[in-house]
Amino acid sequence: MSWLDRVRNSIPFIAKRETQDTLWHKCPGCSQMIFIKEFQENLSVCPKCGHHGRIGAKARFEQLFDQGSWYLLASPQVADDPLKFRDSKKYTDRIKAARAATGEQDALLNASGRIMGHKAVVGVQDFAFMGGSMGLGVGAAFVEGARKAIAERAPYVIFTAAGGARMQEGILSLMQMPKSTVAIAELREAGLPYIVVLTDPTTGGVTASYAMLGDVQIAEPGALIGFAGQRVIENTIREKLPEGFQRAEYLLDHGMLDMVVERKDLRETLGQLIGFLCEDKAAA
């Protein structure tokens, strides 16, 4: 805050105006200032350079599902602080702050509805909730989403966005990796598709488990996807990594993804995929 802003804000009889932050969005990709309304109308994608911004679960559901066709699934209840963990703050305080900021119970939210007329259960990780980190709540929600898909004979579509496992839950967070893998096996036994859409960023234990086990692997343009960070890898192997390493386009070129799809095309692409892969046909 500048000196002038501090003085202005300290004077009680000067009316507070909307700040630049509420009217404009600075694109991380090209540093252009974009009118926030224009940015939101463009699905939180920069109209100048095409940078795909991070969005929450409910915004994602509104973009994907047929209007009026979807509903949220209840978040499963898990222990908030199983290890009584504390670093610079109590873990319970961090959870409370994340819930207050996002309005959600944990980092993964599921919804059931229709995409282009086809039934689907969709899970979305919100990076705004403690970096989308995977803990007991995320693991339980993933299993609930997969089993709801089995019950409805629908595909399970997961949008990943995470910094990895949640350190405050220690080994319990790592156990969500095999737990989610078992849920994916149940989907396959039921003959139902499991579709992954990797968004920015998808890293750590999430990448090492359910983010890379899809029947179809999709990513948004420019998404950071990897296990360890680029600097860690370079320091370990003592080599310079290629330009664009761990970005969606690089992974597509090297066979780790099936397609990279812009956000404006995701709804149609998923609808077509579900139509191809499932017996369920569009409602008459």
- Which parts of the chain have pLDDT scores under 70? 1-21, 280-284
pLDDT of residue 171: 96
Per DSSP (E only), the strands in the chain are 24-26, 33-35, 71-72, 108-115, 118-125, 156-162, 194-202, 216-219, 259-260
pLDDT of residue 229: 87
Q: Are strands 118-125 and 108-115 parallel, antiparallel or unpaired?
A: antiparallel
pLDDT of residue 10: 56
Q: What tokens were used for 275?
A: 């139509």
pLDDT of residue 5: 57
**3-class DSSP string for 234-261:** HHHHCCCCCCCCCEHHHHHHCCCCCEEC
Length of the chain: 284
- d(CA 124, CA 127) in angstroms, rounded, equals 10
